[in-house]
Amino acid sequence: MKKMQSLCLINGEWRAARSGSTIPVTNPATGEHLADVPQIDQEQVLEAIRSAETALPAWQHRPARERAQVLRRIGDLLQERQDECAQLITLEQGKPLRESLGEVSYSANYFQWFSEEAVRIYGEIIPSDSANKRIFVLKQPIGVAAAITPWNFPIAMLARKMAAALAAGCTFIAKPAPETPLSALFLGELCQEAGLPAGVVNLVTGDAAMIGSTLMASPIVKKVSFTGSTEVGKLLIRQSADTVKKLTLELGGNAPFVVLDDADLEKAVEGAIYGKYRNAGQTCICVNRFLVHESVAQTFTDLLVARTRALVVGNGLDEKTSIGPLINDAARDKVVGILQSASNDGATFVLGQEACAATSRFIPPVVISQVKPSMRIWKEEIFGPVATIATFRTDAEAIALANDTQYGLAAYLYSGSLSRALAIAERLEYGMVGINDTAISAAQAPFGGIKQSGFGREGSAHGIEDYLVLKYLSVA
């Protein structure tokens, strides 16, 4: 692997913090020190904002076909350097290497798809009420856009936002999570290599509260797209008021996975393994609650336990590994706390009870049954390799249990009857529903939630709309 990029990208230049302060980046699997990234100050954040403002007119008015070519090139470079990029993701994030390769390919898809979408930002002509008037609607980039991203998909969460923003003609500033900034800086290098002009993409690292409040307070920044916790999302909503800033919020989830009595149980368990244990359970669309018809609950549990037992916990660089470490000790403590409260509340540990006393970031996968809506483990996003199972008797009860959460991101439903599945899916209060499917995210589909999982969409034509504003021309 070439030397890792560990400086911030501001106005096309790689910069250290003016103060010389840095933030260490470590490998969650080994504790090894990987690099130090700059802890920049507010003046440097303002400089990044100004450089995005300066770069805006030329980028916005560049022919869409040319913007598309640069985006396409970024996606191609990601594919060409997928091994290097995947290794970097695993080193700083911990997920198994094959999942990191999947993340790189998924990210490249967004650049490719939005490069194709950039040339299709069509306006409208609307018939007016009078013979001598014309009504035109233009779609224009909103302006300077900013992104704040989490550590669980270090390159994908950034790619989803950056590709849509650049396709729309916006310029861009991003703050990656401090645990995983190196993948984002790698993407910055590819942007430069692809010929993106200076200032169009800026990448800043440092204190989250300072950078966040500076971006939110700036009248130059017209839009902020955030992926992360609901708690920080609510703070950003409050901070957006003073500048009436447009937001896209991809927040937390509490995904139910409903198994009906007519489901193909082998297929359901196959989907469950992917939907639950991917990224050690640290994804916003990971299954949080398995809701299983009581007549098939025992068989489903037995099959799930058998498949779960075969999972290998270890360093993501080891090709045998199926579950890597949790991102840090705080994440482990949170999962252990949730497990202990489930144990105290009377849930039954079918597998992995030893995780209640885990002192390592490598948590063994857990399966718990007899889970009830009153328990903390039902209400909170677990963000760990823990499967919880509750049972139901009727479709109406399954719907009520599935909707019993403040979140509304992803839900899953397994059934052998499409009409029954559709009738239930229509009643699930979620932005996305996988029917006999847990691999639900794709560049051409609108990803996003309702309720306290946020608003706005990433991916699909709807994803680009989030970076556009309408201008109506009335011509007499």
Residues that bind ligand NAP (CB under 6 A): 148-152, 157, 175, 177-178, 208-209, 212, 227-229, 232, 235, 250-253, 284, 381, 409, 449, 453
Nearer CB in complex with ligand NAP: 279/315: 279
Nearest to ligand NAP of 75, 463 (CB atom) = 463
Q: Which residue is nearest to ligand NAP (CB)?
A: 212
* E strand residue ranges, 297-382: 348-351, 366-369
3-state secondary structure 273-292: HHHHHHHHHCCCCCEEEEEE
User: Could you say which of 284, 286, 381, 458 is catalytic?
Assistant: 284
Tell me whether residue 314 or residue 446 sits nearer to ligand NAP (CB atom).
Answer: 446
The two three-digit tokens of residue 118, written as one number: 């950039």
What's the CA gap between 366 and 349, in Å, rounded? 8
d(C-alpha 86, C-alpha 471), whole Å: 41
| Residue 247: CB minimum distance to ligand NAP, A | 12
Q: Which residues pair with 410 in a beta bridge?
A: 432
Q: Are 182 and 155 in contact (CB under 8 A)?
A: no
Count CB neighbours of 252 within 10 A: 23
Separation in Å, CA 65 to CA 16, 91, 123, 271, 435: 34, 36, 16, 39, 37
Tokens of 378: 């039902």
Q: Which is nearer to ligand NAP, 10 or 285 (CB)?
A: 285
Q: How far is the CB of 286 from ligand NAP (least distance, A)?
A: 8
Q: Which is nearer to ligand NAP, 153 or 300 (CB)?
A: 153
As measured in angstroms, the least distance from the Cβ of 83 to ligand NAP is 24
The neighbouring-strand residues paired with 470 are 139
- Shortest separation between residue 227's beta carbon and ligand NAP, angstroms: 5
Residue 85 annotated among the catalytic residues of the structure = no
- Catalytic annotation on 294? no
Cα 154 from Cα 138, distance rounded (Å): 34
Minimum distance from residue 447 beta carbon to ligand NAP (Å):
6
Measured distance between the N- and C-terminal CA atoms of the chain, rounded to whole angstroms: 62
Catalytic residues: 250, 284
